[in-house]
Structure 1
């Protein structure tokens, strides 16, 4: 099982490809996915699902075109669906482009199988009301979106954000994962559960 990062879109959002020798998942296609689909074609992979950690526009720019090219469904958290009706989800602010409308399916927290991959989905609100974390034990990795970053946390001043809720999400669902688990965020470098537990200033050496 391999993970490849494609920083995409105007905000260079980390788009991740999780793949084995035949199937792949995409997490947060935040821009034109051509370089990703070229890689998939070169390696003869089939994309089975598109997973959104949350529905802020910089994580969804590539949803529509990638789903159309691959036939893969787009999955998201129920409580983020209202974002599709405002600028946080539709884009078009600060001179940035609008997101092409797309159809998304709700995924509930719990145990899931996406093609060849077993995953636990956590509802981890705080950055947005419907933020999800996708934990893949076999890859020893969790895709956390903008919940937590290397030495930082996601913004909580957007509608649907809440600092205390975010901190509780991290403590309950992230810091209880195995310490060696990679944390793959929506922006910036990767980190780990142990690293953030000991060094993230927002948790005071938790």
Structure 2
């Protein structure tokens, strides 16, 4: 599986395009997806799914345009749907634009397949109630949205956020993955499970 990163939108949300044997999925297209669409055409890739880690506006801006351009199915958790009735999901807060509405299909935690590759969908709430992480064992990669960053964690002061829930989710769902697993976050650089276990101040011996 190949991974291509596109920082999109006003908050430079990492949109990841995962590809395998001519098929692709996109994770969190948070802005105008022209670069993603061009890449799919250049590489002759068929986008089958758009995976959404959570329903915060900065992860949603490009979904409708990418969905219309490719016909891909949008996949998300069900526990975040209420956010689409607020500025946190719809956009409009802090002067940011509104999110174009899109259709989606809810998915449950468990074993799934995308691009014919096994994917373990993990419920990782805390940043938002319905936050999902997508773990591809064969690629040794997990896409965590904003629940975990390089040396940091996601904010928990937005509706449905809970710091204790977030820490539990990361500890039980992410840190139990193989230590070499690459962690692809919603913003900033990638890391690894082992690196964050040792060095992330919210979890390591450096915590105060």
TM-score, with normalisation over the residues of structure 2?
0.97
2:6 corresponding residue in structure 1: 6
**Number of aligned residues:** 206
Report runs of 4+ in structure 1 exceeding 3 Å deviation: none
2:110 corresponding residue in structure 1: 110
1:21 corresponding residue in structure 2: 21
Within a 5 Å distance, the mapping from 1:36-185 to structure 2 comes to: 36-185=36-185
Displacement, 1:136?
0.5
- Structure 2 unaligned spans of 5+: none
1:33 corresponding residue in structure 2: 33
Report the secondary structure of 2:95's partner residue.
coil
Deviations 1:178-198 (A, max 9, x none): 000000000000000000000
Deviations 1:109-167 (A, max 9, x none): 00001132210000100000000000001111000000000000000011110000000
* Cα distance between partner residues in 2 of 1:183 and 1:171: 14
Report the secondary structure of 1:169's partner residue.
helix
- RMSD, matched Cα: 0.9
* Cα distance between partner residues in 1 of 2:21 and 2:177: 27
2:190 corresponding residue in structure 1: 190
TM-score, with normalisation over the residues of structure 1?
0.98
- Structure 1 unaligned spans of 5+: none
1:200 corresponding residue in structure 2: 200
* Cα distance between partner residues in 2 of 1:95 and 1:128: 21
CA contact (8 A) 2:19 2:115 kept: no
* Cα distance between partner residues in 1 of 2:116 and 2:5: 19
